[in-house]
Amino acid sequence: MIANAETEVLLGHLAERFESSAQEISAAEGGGWGQFLDAPKTHTQVGLYGTCAGVITLTLAGRGQSPVCQLAAKRLATWWQARNQVLYTRQRFVQTLRLAFLCLACRLSELGGLDAISLEAETSLFARQLQSGGWGDWWLSESSHDSTPRIFTSSVVIMMLLLFRQSLPPAQAAKLTKATQLLSRACESPGHLSALELAAATAALSIWHSFTLGTRQPPSLSRAAWSAAREPKHGNYFFFFQYSADAKGQSFGRDYLLAPPNLLFAVGGFQRRSRGTLRLAAEDTLGDLVEQLKAEGAYRVSKHDHVSSLDQVWVAIILTLALTAPSFTSPGMTAKAVYGLRKERDDNWFTDLAFPLFAGVFFIVANAVPVEDDTRLKILISLGTWIAAALYGDNVVRKFFRGSH
């Protein structure tokens, strides 16, 4: 486990990265951040996702009262007050994901001006919940909205409503119980879920189990999640939405959200009741984040990517959870060994080279040796086949039968 002092210092450095890249629009309208923190100086974009990410990160780092954060809060308030008047806000606030991020930013903020917005935004978010328990990608009105419960969107809504929260009114808790039941059913057969959807649902359910401290066990790291929990790459969530362009009628748009599944799994892994494999994956991810933050001061999926504002807010959440995460009962040596073999890493010489080579040579030699009267060798060959198939069978099948599950 990374030392708390080191984690807290790195969280402060991440906040400094936001402070040094803030864009001020005007003293009256405030300021904020755009999609990237390392964009060229000529790019002065300020957007809802980036500004929410900045407010959340600065608040978690204990800098929620800073002048930069105050400007960002003013910008959020300006957008919210004009949500039905300006084209930019009409396009953004119909999107459930953007409203969810606003909810977390305003709830965590230490600035009094965002208290009322937090309450209004949460009320609006709960009003969008579908009869199924989930949330659609957009909501224009009671009669015009996305009526399909989306797993990723519903998962993010639950996370934004529950992260760093101690209590909920009973009526809202009942609504989230229904929402998590929807996610639990979806995770029972995860083959139809993308890595990003599975990561978000796993994190949301872990947060819910930590929040409620119920008797039901939180999710462990499923077989389908092994690769995604360790592989640092962006998952893409694209969706279409409808919005009110003007008084004459409706228009349609397309938007997206990028998030690394491994970071979402780590958010779930640092919850109070997370089970062994999910927590082990979270510890590994934290170690990778710390090394990159010490080297670069920010997180990026690959060296060719820009420093994404939204990626940094997931990192800030993970660092904060790691600072407050309670100790957990460590799995036994067998579980740790299986976890070490299952996780796929480019720099893991044993699982990438040594074990496949050894297994191949062993099976070739074993098949050339008579085993009619040697029960022990038969058992050894069967056991080795089972282990190799468990580790590599899924990847081999997908390579030769693309598109199959």
| Residue 153 near residue 255 (C-beta atoms within 8 A) | no
As a whole number of angstroms, the distance between CA 269 and CA 282 comes to 5
Q: What is the pLDDT of residue 201?
A: 95
Per-residue pLDDT band for 401 (boundaries 50, 70, 90) equals low
Residue 351 has pLDDT above 90, yes or no: no
Residue 368 has pLDDT above 70, yes or no: no
Residue 327 has pLDDT above 60, yes or no: yes
Q: What is the pLDDT of residue 277?
A: 79
Q: What is the pLDDT of residue 207?
A: 94
H or E stretch at 32: strand 30-32
User: Which residue is listed with tokens 């300020």?
Assistant: 46
Per-residue pLDDT band for 405 (boundaries 50, 70, 90) equals very low
Per-residue tokens: 158: 């639950």
Which range is least confidently modeled, 134-138, 320-324, 397-401? 397-401
Higher pLDDT, 282 or 312: 312
Task: Average the pLDDT over 102-115 and give the result.
Answer: 91
Task: Average the pLDDT over 224-229 and give the result.
Answer: 64
Which range is least confidently modeled, 124-128, 178-182, 229-233, 304-308? 229-233
Task: Average the pLDDT over 92-103 and give the result.
Answer: 97
Q: What is the pLDDT of residue 27?
A: 76
List C-alpha distances in Å: 302 to 57, 233, 311, 312.
Answer: 21, 8, 12, 14
Give 353: exposed, middle or buried? Use CB within 10 Å, 0-12, 13-18, 19+: exposed
pLDDT in tens, 273-290: 776 778 888 888 999 999
Q: What is the pLDDT of residue 348?
A: 60
Eight-class DSSP state of 352: I
Beta strands in 235-358 (DSSP E): 235-246, 249-259
pLDDT in tens, 183-199: 999 988 888 899 999 99
Higher pLDDT, 208 or 345: 208
Per-residue pLDDT band for 218 (boundaries 50, 70, 90) equals low
Average pLDDT value over all residues in the chain = 84
Q: What is the pLDDT of residue 178?
A: 96
- 220: nearest Cα among 270, 285, 279, 264: 279
Q: What is the pLDDT of residue 232?
A: 75
Of all residues in the chain, what percent carry a pLDDT higher than 70? 76
- 288: nearest Cα among 332, 330, 324, 318: 318
Residue 247 has pLDDT above 70, yes or no: no
Q: What is the pLDDT of residue 242?
A: 93
Per-residue pLDDT band for 100 (boundaries 50, 70, 90) equals very high
Residue 400 has pLDDT above 60, yes or no: no
As a whole number of angstroms, the distance between CA 192 and CA 151 comes to 11
pLDDT in tens, 135-179: 999 999 999 999 999 999 999 999 999 999 999 999 999 999 999
Residue 334 has pLDDT above 50, yes or no: yes
pLDDT in tens, 30-42: 899 999 998 776 6
Residue 3 has pLDDT above 80, yes or no: no
Task: Report the DSSP beta bridge partners of residue 95.
Answer: 138
Residue 324 has pLDDT above 90, yes or no: no
SS3 at position 140: strand
Task: Average the pLDDT over 92-112 and give the result.
Answer: 94
